[in-house]
A and B are shown apart, each in its own frame.
Chain A
Amino acid sequence: MAQLIRRAAALNKSLPAASFAARGLATASTSPITVETSLPFTGHNIDPPSRSVETSPQELLTFFRDMALMRRMEIAADSLYKAKLIRGFCHLYDGQEAVCVGMEAAINRKDCIITAYRDHCIFLGRGGTLLEAFAELMGRKDGCSKGKGGSMHFYKKEGGFYGGHGIVGAQVPLGCGLAFAQKYSKDESVTFAMYGDGAANQGQLFEALNMAALWDLPAILVCENNHYGMGTAEWRAAKSPAYYKRGDYVPGLKVDGMDALAVKQACKFAKEHALKNGPIILEMDTYRYHGHSMSDPGSTYRTRDEISGVRQERDPIERIRKLVLAHDLATEKELKDTEKEVRKEVDEAIAQAKESPMPDPSELFSNVYAKGLGTEHKTGTLQITYNYLLLALKDLVAFFLVVFIRSRQKRSENCTSMSENINNDSTCQDPFVD
């Protein structure tokens, strides 16, 4: 009991309002805890890893906090969208947080992640800050893409996060390209190319998979199967919804995507496999509570009972909460405090993002080309006028020079330097006689 109080006290002191990079839970114990995943893994052409996952109190509490932060961020984005501060497309990730958080626990920043448009939380996981995320969503200057990308174009180069892509499936060949570069540079790191159950039917995916398998690229294709491709259920779009088997000659693993520990185990396993044997497919069985995007209510193609059922049975945050409480790692109150803190963090970030100004009008033309040619130096009206003035000035100078020289020459009656310059020879010949 005393130990618990000590630990609780330490916890309360060290939870900062910081980004994920600074983990203030260092004082929590790192002593290993072994947890069994809720469901076994199913393998295709591969022996699945064991169900027992090694974790630690620190890790579990980190999971809880990170997922609570992500959930809070997405809910806040929902309100911002309804308040018309976020426009256009906004695809929310709440319900799927375990995939992102579990993956981060298994890899490092040298590994690359690339995903589609449901990218807010993955951006956060890769080291993005709340301010950057909200500012980008609201189209402000402080956004991660300077306000020019929007919800679907979050990138974090230093964190190894390659976006953020709007066209369904187009990111998977890019992901294989990242893996190719890693193999080329002999990096010993892997790429996680994420896509959804809708994108799993794209041809370029199979093209990319073929190439990755052919050249043993360290690419891990992660299918976040939330069972609905926009408004179409998976069984209505795919003849074979067993996406982990679709790789055929590429091994696959089916994972319970609502269990962060299972995801962590699978990603660790996949990373080891990819570095030795080439590509592998991971199918994360997950669920999104919101509709496809903010313009989709999400209830026309599925029942509210289904959504609330999943929320009760399989919610990732609740699972971790139960684990934490079961292992006495924190009290109910501490967890609630964490959630309140996280809420405050998000609110502060939103307030700060709202203060951020809109991008400068000159930003319209910057970053179109890498060295500022083309549109940045387009001969616009201002530029032409400037050119005119500059050259007119040159001509004026020349004009006065001529006048000056002529007046000098008028005084002297000799063959002048002017004509000598024009003639290439020294005799004073008329320059225009051939």
Chain B
Amino acid sequence: MYQWRMIRSATAILSFFSKASIAYTFVETEASMAAASFGVSSAAVQAVKSSASPLPSLPVIRSEARPISGRINRSRNAGKIATHAVAAQTENPASAASKPGHEVLLFEALREGLEEEMERDPRVCIFGEDVGHYGGSYKVSKGLADKYGDLRVLDTPIAENSFTGMAVGAAMTGLRPVVEGMNMGFLLLAFNQISDNCGMLHYTSGGQFTIPTVIRGPGGVGRQLGAEHSQRLESYFQSIPGIQMVACSTPYNAKGLMKAAIRSENPVVLFEHVLLYNLKERIPDEEYVVSLEEAEMVRPGEHVTILTYSRMRYHVMQAAKTLVNKGYDPEVIDIRSLKPFDLYTIGNSIKKTHKVLIVEECMRTGGIGASLTAAINENFNDYLDAPIVCLSSQDVPTPYAGTLEEVTVVQPSQIVTAVEQLCR
């Protein structure tokens, strides 16, 4: 009796390692060798690998493998730890319901982040159109000009190219400007400054200058804003060497990413979304910063890995409700870091589920999804049971008409269909 228990425990530990390690193939062989030598069929190990019928009682360890000395958490608790597993690495698990916190809308969270950083570091300043006296066209910088003055919260004329250039010049001397594009699409006019000066100066000067700018603004498809005001610039900026790109999706990560971006020595482009500014969430009272290079585990699951970011996260979660009702168990990851990708979290997920669905708002051609598909194929090809499915927006200028605009963007029903097909 005891021996059987021992063998099962040993198998559990081995499978724990097999889940947690990157060298999955290697350990799997070890596990099956071990199992074979103990005279236990490797069925237990195989069962772990198969995602079709997960053993509910087996411990499921998420992205960061905890050391063995701690207790192995039961699968019953797996849902609770995993929700902010990655985020929990870097800050206190303040998102747990135990701490009170305060409710904010997303734009208020951004403002809080900005204000805290401006308070903390006198070198932080804001450049943008209508950020000062008007308070920001999306109220992100409301009240900051009254508090910090016109020089720190600078109302610029409508000259994206040159005020972005000015921000880069100021950053070269040590200031930490936050540049706001009233709509991300306007920053196309500043592409040269962002690409050549922001992104490359650190390299071409041999490391003499760092450019700690943050370039932020709302982008994405809104409600019938028209083609020029519904652009997704992450696909154009992603090849620029030297910049980091992040996309926020909740008040919690908006504030955290804003703070992290301001503190980063690298130029960071923070993509917000026009439709997400009024999202409400309870965020911690204490100061926290979110890692710029990590993805967020939104919903752990077993059947399929759904990678998404920004507004599409909500479409995916909506689809996830339907999927759960239909008996599927999708794992939803908000990739957050668009450049560089958090292949660690993504890879661990793929090793578990072996199926990937990417849902993005970029256009089909040359978008984030296209790059992510390539990166996953390159790195995790062996773990895929099916080709990666990438749902993106259509390669068209976003039309004004509501019905057409709806079809341009990925809708939850399409996500449900894609998962069903993938998990057939």
| Chain A residues in the interface with B (C-beta under 8 A) | 112, 114, 143-150, 153, 155-157, 162-167, 170, 172-178, 180-185, 203-204, 207-208, 210-211, 214-215, 366-371, 373-375, 378-379, 384, 387-389, 391-392, 394-396, 398-399, 402-403, 406, 409-410, 413, 415-416, 418-419, 421-422, 424, 430-434
How long is the Cα–Cα vector from A31 to B220 in the complex, in angstroms? 68
Q: Which residue of A lies closest to B57 (CB)?
A: A432
B345 close to A (CB within 8 Å): no
A204 partner residues in chain B, CB cutoff 8 A? 159, 161-162, 165
B206 & A211 in contact (Cβ 8 Å cutoff) = no
B166 & A184 in contact (Cβ 8 Å cutoff) = no
Q: Which 5 A-B pairs have the closest CB atoms?
A: A177-B169, A173-B165, A174-B169, A370-B265, A145-B206
How long is the Cα–Cα vector from A394 to B57 in the complex, in angstroms? 24
| CB < 8 Å neighbour of B72 from A180, A392, A422 | A422
CB-CB contacts of B147-160 with A at 8 A, as 1s and 0s? 00001101011010
How long is the Cα–Cα vector from A368 to B205 in the complex, in angstroms? 11
A173 & B193 in contact (Cβ 8 Å cutoff) = yes
CB-CB contacts of B1-17 with A at 8 A, as 1s and 0s? 01101101110111001
B61 close to A (CB within 8 Å): no
A166 partner residues in chain B, CB cutoff 8 A? 196
A181 & B175 in contact (Cβ 8 Å cutoff) = yes
Q: Indicate the member of B3, B27, B125, B152 with the most A CB atoms within 10 Å.
A: B27
B203 partner residues in chain A, CB cutoff 8 A? 148, 367-368
B210 close to A (CB within 8 Å): yes
Given A155-B209, A391-B27: A208 and B166 interface contact (C-beta under 8 Å): yes
Smallest distance from the beta carbon of A364 to chain B beta carbons, Å? 10
B204 partner residues in chain A, CB cutoff 8 A? 145, 148-150, 153, 155, 163-164
B3 & A145 in contact (Cβ 8 Å cutoff) = no
For residues 149 through 187 of chain B, which have their beta carbon under 8 Å from a beta carbon of chain A?
Answer: 151-152, 154, 156-157, 159, 161-175
For residues 245 through 289 of chain B, which have their beta carbon under 8 Å from a beta carbon of chain A?
Answer: 264-266
B244 partner residues in chain A, CB cutoff 8 A? 369, 373-374
| CB < 8 Å neighbour of A170 from B3, B27, B159, B197 | B197
For residues 193 through 207 of chain B, which have their beta carbon under 8 Å from a beta carbon of chain A?
Answer: 193, 196-197, 201-207
A391 & B22 in contact (Cβ 8 Å cutoff) = yes
A148 partner residues in chain B, CB cutoff 8 A? 203-204, 206
24 CB < 8 A contacts A-B: A145-B204, A164-B204, A174-B165, A178-B170, A178-B173, A180-B175, A203-B161, A204-B159, A210-B157, A210-B159, A214-B157, A215-B154, A367-B206, A369-B202, A369-B266, A373-B293, A392-B27, A392-B30, A396-B30, A398-B68, A409-B6, A418-B9, A424-B74, A432-B12
How long is the Cα–Cα vector from A153 to B201 in the complex, in angstroms? 9
| CB < 8 Å neighbour of A367 from B171, B197, B207 | B207
A399 & B196 in contact (Cβ 8 Å cutoff) = no
CB-CB contacts of B367-381 with A at 8 A, as 1s and 0s? 000000000000100
B170 partner residues in chain A, CB cutoff 8 A? 177-178, 180-181, 184
A149 & B205 in contact (Cβ 8 Å cutoff) = yes
How long is the Cα–Cα vector from A403 to B209 in the complex, in angstroms? 55
A207 & B162 in contact (Cβ 8 Å cutoff) = yes
A399 partner residues in chain B, CB cutoff 8 A? 14, 30, 34
B56 partner residues in chain A, CB cutoff 8 A? 434
How long is the Cα–Cα vector from A167 to B265 in the complex, in angstroms? 24
Smallest distance from the beta carbon of B233 to chain A beta carbons, Å? 19
B174 & A391 in contact (Cβ 8 Å cutoff) = no
Smallest distance from the beta carbon of B328 to chain A beta carbons, Å? 22
B6 & A416 in contact (Cβ 8 Å cutoff) = yes
A172 partner residues in chain B, CB cutoff 8 A? 162, 165
B414 close to A (CB within 8 Å): no
Number of interface residues of B (CB under 8 A): 76
How long is the Cα–Cα vector from A270 to B266 in the complex, in angstroms? 35
How long is the Cα–Cα vector from A123 to B51 in the complex, in angstroms? 63
A155 partner residues in chain B, CB cutoff 8 A? 204-206, 208-209
Smallest distance from the beta carbon of B394 to chain A beta carbons, Å? 31
A409 partner residues in chain B, CB cutoff 8 A? 2, 6
Apart from the given pairs A153-B205, A369-B266, A419-B5, 8 other A-B contacts in the complex at a CB distance below 8 Å: A147-B206, A157-B205, A181-B173, A204-B165, A368-B242, A371-B266, A373-B340, A395-B27
B21 close to A (CB within 8 Å): yes
A173 & B161 in contact (Cβ 8 Å cutoff) = yes
How long is the Cα–Cα vector from A139 to B83 in the complex, in angstroms? 50
B30 & A395 in contact (Cβ 8 Å cutoff) = yes
B157 partner residues in chain A, CB cutoff 8 A? 207, 210-211, 214
A163 & B205 in contact (Cβ 8 Å cutoff) = yes
How long is the Cα–Cα vector from A219 to B342 in the complex, in angstroms? 43
B12 & A211 in contact (Cβ 8 Å cutoff) = no
How long is the Cα–Cα vector from A149 to B172 in the complex, in angstroms? 16
Smallest distance from the beta carbon of A271 to chain B beta carbons, Å? 18
B208 & A184 in contact (Cβ 8 Å cutoff) = no
How long is the Cα–Cα vector from A369 to B242 in the complex, in angstroms? 5
B2 & A392 in contact (Cβ 8 Å cutoff) = no
| CB < 8 Å neighbour of B206 from A149, A177, A184, A373 | A149
How long is the Cα–Cα vector from A415 to B3 in the complex, in angstroms? 10
Smallest distance from the beta carbon of B258 to chain A beta carbons, Å? 18
B193 partner residues in chain A, CB cutoff 8 A? 170, 173
A387 partner residues in chain B, CB cutoff 8 A? 22-23
A402 & B13 in contact (Cβ 8 Å cutoff) = yes
B196 partner residues in chain A, CB cutoff 8 A? 165-167, 170
B343 close to A (CB within 8 Å): yes
B210 partner residues in chain A, CB cutoff 8 A? 370
Smallest distance from the beta carbon of A87 to chain B beta carbons, Å? 16
B206 partner residues in chain A, CB cutoff 8 A? 143-149, 155, 367
B102 close to A (CB within 8 Å): no
B402 close to A (CB within 8 Å): no
A177 & B265 in contact (Cβ 8 Å cutoff) = no
How long is the Cα–Cα vector from A379 to B257 in the complex, in angstroms? 24
B326 close to A (CB within 8 Å): no
B239 close to A (CB within 8 Å): no
A391 & B172 in contact (Cβ 8 Å cutoff) = no
| CB < 8 Å neighbour of B5 from A163, A203, A395, A430 | A430
Smallest distance from the beta carbon of B82 to chain A beta carbons, Å? 18
B165 partner residues in chain A, CB cutoff 8 A? 170, 172-174, 176-177, 204, 208
Q: Which residue of B lies closest to A170 (CB)?
A: B192
Smallest distance from the beta carbon of B261 to chain A beta carbons, Å? 13
How long is the Cα–Cα vector from A112 to B206 in the complex, in angstroms? 19
Given A204-B161, A422-B12: A114 and B169 interface contact (C-beta under 8 Å): yes
Smallest distance from the beta carbon of B369 to chain A beta carbons, Å? 20
How long is the Cα–Cα vector from A410 to B171 in the complex, in angstroms? 67
A366 partner residues in chain B, CB cutoff 8 A? 207
B14 partner residues in chain A, CB cutoff 8 A? 398-399, 402
Q: Indicate the member of A398, A406, A409, A418 with the most B CB atoms within 10 Å.
A: A398
Smallest distance from the beta carbon of A282 to chain B beta carbons, Å? 19
Smallest distance from the beta carbon of B122 to chain A beta carbons, Å? 9
B424 close to A (CB within 8 Å): no
Smallest distance from the beta carbon of B317 to chain A beta carbons, Å? 28
A388 partner residues in chain B, CB cutoff 8 A? 22-23, 26
B366 partner residues in chain A, CB cutoff 8 A? none
B397 close to A (CB within 8 Å): no
B71 close to A (CB within 8 Å): yes
Q: Which residue of A lies closest to B164 (CB)?
A: A173
Smallest distance from the beta carbon of B295 to chain A beta carbons, Å? 15
How long is the Cα–Cα vector from A393 to B5 in the complex, in angstroms? 26
| CB < 8 Å neighbour of B197 from A174, A371, A415 | A174
Q: Which residue of B lies closest to A187 (CB)?
A: B173
Smallest distance from the beta carbon of A131 to chain B beta carbons, Å? 14
